[in-house]
Amino acid sequence: MNPIRVMVVDDSVVVRKIVTDVLSADPGIDVVGTAVNGKVALGKLPQLRPDLVTMDIEMPEMNGIEAVRAIRRTRDRVPIIMCSTLTERGATATLDALSAGANDYVTKPANVGSVAQSMESVREQLIPKIKALTGRPVTPVRPAAPVAPPPRPAAPRTGPGKKPAVLVIGSSTGGPEALARVLPALPATLPVPVLLAQHMPPVFTRQFAQRLDRLSPLRVVEAVDGTPLAPGTVHLAPGDHHLVVRADGRAGFTTALNQNPPENFCRPAVDPLFRSAVAAYDGAVLGVVLTGMGADGRNGCGEIRNAGGTVVVQDQATSVVWGMPGAVAQAGYADEVLPLDRIAEAIQRHLARAAPLNTAPAMAVGGRR
């Protein structure tokens, strides 16, 4: 398998060297070129033909957001990973870049004590995302199959399906833009509360909740501990905290936050949210898993289905990375496997009917985008 061809774009000589050295140390990656700003990067793209671009945000002449827009105007679909600072300004700019067509982001190391620590931070964040976005195995155990195994039919139910009383959603890579399409398509009169775990760091989640709130008829907030759950409100897990459902005898169901150990290398993670919803609502849960790398949410979806709930996942063709939804589908936990533009309709359909149907998944044909 040929190495992944990467172009590194950053106006900082130090950052370019750190990123280049880290990536070049991986035998599966070849840094084919660098650029000091978006304008230079745009000029080098046709010649270098990289498989992926890492892109700084704040650069002279043409910044990262402008560069992403310019690249996408050429109809070039090369994956782009933004390198952002963990600040309010950095979070806003990163979300703008994702809206412009970037695929994912990493945060630059801050307050680290050495170049070695900076390099390790870049290695841990960036290399798995590069490999996931280019369809390569994240760990070199064996070559990845060119096409993911097909979804398994939904496992037979052991009891009657339950009408959902809560909607829980999980997403990761590609999730911000997927959610920005799904949530605005849901009505303000949605009859159940919504809880959402998107893999995202602190600061970013607050900005993202505000952005979704502006886009959606639903009320979207960054979750805080102890808020009663009400229909039509979306609670987004804050960065570095797990969001779970608490059953309170006096207040009914409320949000709860904790900093228990990461699950699936993530905090917030999808599995603890899904598990808590099953326990609180006695399985009357609609779980949705959107695009994302890894397998977070697979076990939680298994618990949802075993308890009588319903699971819908995004299909491979419309996912930026078909890791999380693919893991659920391949485990046989998905009632439906649907393209992104049909997810909102499916949510409303499942919330409206008397009980979930026990049918094989509705599978869309198509490969990785």
Q: Which of 118, 199, 315, 350 is catalytic?
A: 199
> What one-letter code names the amino acid at 73?
R
Q: Is 172 one of the catalytic residues?
A: yes
Task: Quote the distance between the C-alpha of residue 101 and its chain's center.
Answer: 14
Which regions of the chain does DSSP assign to beta strands (E)?
4-9, 29-35, 52-56, 80-84, 104-107, 166-171, 194-198, 219-222, 233-236, 242-248, 252-258, 285-289, 310-314, 336-338
> Residue 199 catalytic?
yes
- The 3-state DSSP class for residue 4 equals strand
Whole-number Cα distances in Å, 143 to 129, 315, 324: 17, 22, 19
Contacts of 111 (CB under 8 A, 6+ apart): none
Q: Residue type for 342, please?
A: R
Q: What is the DSSP letter of 228?
A: B
Q: Which of 296, 315, 319, 335 does the annotation list as catalytic?
A: 296
**How far is CA 98 from each of CA 18, 319, 333, rounded to the nearest angstrom?**
24, 14, 30
Question: Who's near 294: CB < 8 A, 6+ residues apart?
Answer: 172, 264, 265, 266, 323, 324, 327
> Which residue of the set 171, 172, 276, 319 is catalytic?
172
**Residue from 245, 216, 243, 244 nearest 232 by CA:** 216
For 264, the token pair is 């699936």
β-pairing verdict for 252-258 and 242-248: antiparallel
Instruction: Please state, in angstroms and rounded to a whole number, the distance separating the CA atoms of residues 292 and 172.
Output: 4
Catalytic site positions: 172, 199, 296
